[in-house]
Amino acid sequence: MYEKNGEKFFIVDAHVHLWDARPQNQSNIHGKQFIDCFFDYHSNLSPESEKWDYETYLYYGGKRLMKDLFEDGYVDHAIFQTTLLRDFYETNFSQFRETQDLVEANPGKLTHNYAYDPRDGEDGITEMRKAHAKYGFTGVKLYTAEWHGESRGYKLDDMWSRKYLDVAQELGVKNIHVHKGPTIRPLDRDAFDVADVDKVATDYLDLNFVVEHIGLPRLEDFCWIATQEPNVYAGMAVAMPFIHTRPRYFAQMMGELLYWLDEDRIIFSSDYALWTPKWLIEQFVDFQIPEDMTEYAPITLDQKRKVLGLNAVNLYPHIQVPEELKIKTPVGANA
């Protein structure tokens, strides 16, 4: 919970990781390139005081994670978005066992989302069923840009991807988090194309599609889809830290999201350990649309409450919110 000037905010960090990118876990040069790219993002967009050294960044462990999120970072609940990258890292990028142990040791605080790769065919579906029976997840994280063997990515509307979505739906999984990235084949299309989200969002109305990183670098295409598909959400991972380095651009992004989507479909996340949540939350609560940007309405405290936690609770209703931190519905208004 974060409190400022008597105003209280329930915080859900909807996208965090426990990764191991140390050299002994890198399978090849791409494992190094990948974490170096993350480290450049971190270094470029973090305030000076929040920057980590490279060694810490490669691996920080569960104890540090709990401190950064819950002791220092005001977070009430955090959601792990599993990232496999199995062709780049020996035991994957996200550390499954370590994450699951942490979840079990801290009941009520952490949610562990599953990840699958539809290119695994029937075997992967069997695995998902087994994992669901054991862990009962309600969300999955997909990384369409993941390299696997000869393949350098897939689309959500590929035949096998649809089969996996069918099974997810059957199992009662509700939330599909999609990290859109530069999928490669075919190379002559826009690698960041988000059109496949549009297709599956139309066909799977019972599923929620949280587009992580708000479709960046295709913000406009993402907004265009989200305005038409009510089950498409904006995951703020990666977009948040612009609040510090490019506050006017951040204001424009927020303004666009509030216009094309609405205040109920924008989800806060730090993408820890890409960035730490503490300063993002502090700055977001203080944030306001600059006065000269008259094209956008000011952001209200209740809108901030929704973005910082309550919207994620709607997607993950197992997260318990204390009564005093919910938005008070005015007397006489329809709930």
Partner 1 sequence: MTTLDERPTSRRSSPDAPSLEAAIMAALDTVIDPELDEPITDLYFVRSVAVDDQGVEVHLRLPTAFCSPNFAYLMASDALDALEMIDDIGIVRVMLDDHHDSDKINAGLAAHAGYRGTFGHEAQDSLDELRLTFMRKAHTAAMERSLTSLIKAGGTTNEAVGKVLLRDLPSGQYKTALLRRRVAIGLSACPNSRVLVDDHGHPIPDDEIPVKLRFARSVRISIEGNGHWCRGVLATRYEGDECDGTSGPLITNTREKQ
Which residues of the shown chain bind partner 1 in the complex (CB under 8 A)?
30, 33-34, 36-37, 40-41, 43-45, 152, 181-182, 184-192, 216-220, 223-224, 242, 245-246, 249, 252-253, 256, 259-260, 295
The minimum distance between CB 191 and partner 1, in angstroms, equals 4
The minimum distance between CB 307 and partner 1, in angstroms, equals 19
β pairing state of 77-81 and 175-179:
unpaired
**Distance, CA of 95 to CA of 139 (rounded, Å):** 17
CB closer to partner 1 out of 160 and 224: 224
**Distance, CA of 58 to CA of 221 (rounded, Å):** 33
CB closer to partner 1 out of 176 and 261: 261
The minimum distance between CB 42 and partner 1, in angstroms, equals 9
The minimum distance between CB 217 and partner 1, in angstroms, equals 4
CB closer to partner 1 out of 187 and 331: 187
CB closer to partner 1 out of 41 and 59: 41
- Neighbour count for residue 5 (Cβ, 10 Å): 7
β pairing state of 139-143 and 12-16:
unpaired
The minimum distance between CB 55 and partner 1, in angstroms, equals 17
The minimum distance between CB 193 and partner 1, in angstroms, equals 9
Question: Positive or negative, the Cα torsion across 86, 89, 94, 100?
Answer: positive
CB closer to partner 1 out of 62 and 181: 181
CB closer to partner 1 out of 181 and 230: 181
